[in-house]
Amino acid sequence: MVQANPAVSTGSKRSWQSRLYAQRYLQAMAIPGVLFMLLFNYAPMYGIIIAFKQFKVTRTIAASPWVGLTHFQEFLGSEDFLNLLTNTLGMSVMYLTIAFPMAIVFAVLVNEIRSPRFKRAVQTVSYLPHFLSWAILGGILISFMGESGLINEVLVKLGVLKAPVIFLGEAHMFWWISVFSEMWKETGWSAIIYLAAIAGIDQELYEAATVDGVNRWGKIIHITIPSIQGTIVIMLILAISGMLNANFDQILILKNPLNALRSEVFDTYVYRMGIGTGRFSYATAAGLFKSIVSMVLLLLANRGSRALTGDSLF
């Protein structure tokens, strides 16, 4: 499988066979990784063809009959489809417009802290939730927002609510709960990359601006943000390409029959249909549809940003 490429010869007189032999240890170290990727990342791509077949666990993939686009037609024509699209895009757009800028704002705010000790403390604490599992945070959130949870207790005591509300039972609240809890968990962590970019800005720019009488806000708008624009664009392209992935780990925990109307997203649907009810082909078709739309989004975002800002991922 390893194709030695004689074209890379750099003028050495030794034959490529002897040079390949000389790097036999390196090849023995690299090839297991390549084989791993072929098996665990590429072999499943072959499995995608079951989206066009009627696959059953009792049959092999090859032996399953072709059914063309039947599963796609059923999926796109189902009542679920519009709902999934609305929920997935709704939460993603909310996340992109609220949580994504929040990480940049957070980095700018942290950067404005003058005391190094306070700065370090804020960073240490704000990264922490990123390392907590959604199985745990979700459990805490469900308890907090439950009928006898802390939030209801406080709100009822303060007279804001007359009777306790089961927040996760209210479908119309689900998007907000999902987006804000995810933002709370990840803002500090997402800000690291911007903080690093800000740290690389030439301090003389700020000093010159101070001499010119530019205030703090002016410096942020005219120096900080333009200087980290490249980083922001890359992160934005990545965020847009991941839009349809929603937030599977989190939603799977917070989803329940009462809020399902607003919490079911592509990934949870694929999981429920495929693993839950055993409709492998149909679930694969739904997943493939999502992947294709994701890739189109990635290409569009990349092209759009190149046209608008000159920065792009590839």
Q: Which of residues 162-181 bind another protein (CB under 8 A)?
A: 168
Provide the minimum distance between the beta carbon of 300 and another protein in the complex, in angstroms, as a whole number. 15
Which residue is associated with the tokens 């759009």? Answer: 304
Paired strand residues for 53: 66
To the nearest 10 degrees (0 to 180), the angle between helices 280-309 and 229-241 is 160
**Could you tell me the maximum CA-CA distance found in the chain, to the nearest angstrom?**
87
CA–CA dist 243, 221 (Å, integer): 27
CA–CA dist 186, 100 (Å, integer): 10
Question: Which of 13, 45, 68, 116 is close enough to bind another protein by CB under 8 A?
Answer: 45
Q: Toward another protein, which CB reaches closer, 121 or 221?
A: 121
Residues 242-281 close enough to bind another protein by CB under 8 A: 248-249, 252-254, 256-257, 267, 270-271, 274-275, 280
Provide the minimum distance between the beta carbon of 88 and another protein in the complex, in angstroms, as a whole number. 15
Residues 70-89 close enough to bind another protein by CB under 8 A: none
Q: Toward another protein, which CB reaches closer, 73 or 143?
A: 143
CA–CA dist 185, 134 (Å, integer): 10
Provide the minimum distance between the beta carbon of 83 and another protein in the complex, in angstroms, as a whole number. 19
Paired strand residues for 66: 53
Q: Toward another protein, which CB reaches closer, 95 or 266?
A: 266
Q: Toward another protein, which CB reaches closer, 66 or 131?
A: 131
Q: Return phi, psi of residue 66, to 5°.
A: -75, 140
Other C-beta atoms lying within 10 Å of the C-beta of residue 89: 16
Residues 119-138 close enough to bind another protein by CB under 8 A: 121-122, 124-129, 131-136, 138
Residues 91-120 close enough to bind another protein by CB under 8 A: 109-110, 112-114, 118
Piece of 19-27, 77-85, 86-94, 304-312 that binds another protein (CB under 8 A): 19-27
Provide the minimum distance between the beta carbon of 40 and another protein in the complex, in angstroms, as a whole number. 6
Instruction: Show Cβ contacts of residue 172 under 8 Å, excluding neighbours closer than 6 positions.
Output: 262
Question: Which of 16, 72, 81, 180 is close enough to bind another protein by CB under 8 A?
Answer: 16
| Dihedral-angle region of residue 92 (phi above 0 means left; psi in -120 to 50 means alpha; beta otherwise) | alpha
Instruction: Show Cβ contacts of residue 229 under 8 Å, excluding neighbours closer than 6 positions.
Output: 309, 311
Q: Return phi, psi of residue 53, to 5°.
A: -125, 170
Provide the minimum distance between the beta carbon of 304 and another protein in the complex, in angstroms, as a whole number. 18
Provide the minimum distance between the beta carbon of 264 and another protein in the complex, in angstroms, as a whole number. 14
Residues 171-230 close enough to bind another protein by CB under 8 A: 184, 189, 192-193, 196, 206-207, 210, 215-216
Nearest by Cα to 265 from 182, 186, 147, 167: 182
* Count of positions on this chain that bind another protein (CB under 8 A): 97
Question: Which of 14, 15, 18, 46 is close enough to bind another protein by CB under 8 A?
Answer: 46
CA–CA dist 270, 277 (Å, integer): 10
Provide the minimum distance between the beta carbon of 89 and another protein in the complex, in angstroms, as a whole number. 19
Provide the minimum distance between the beta carbon of 117 and another protein in the complex, in angstroms, as a whole number. 12
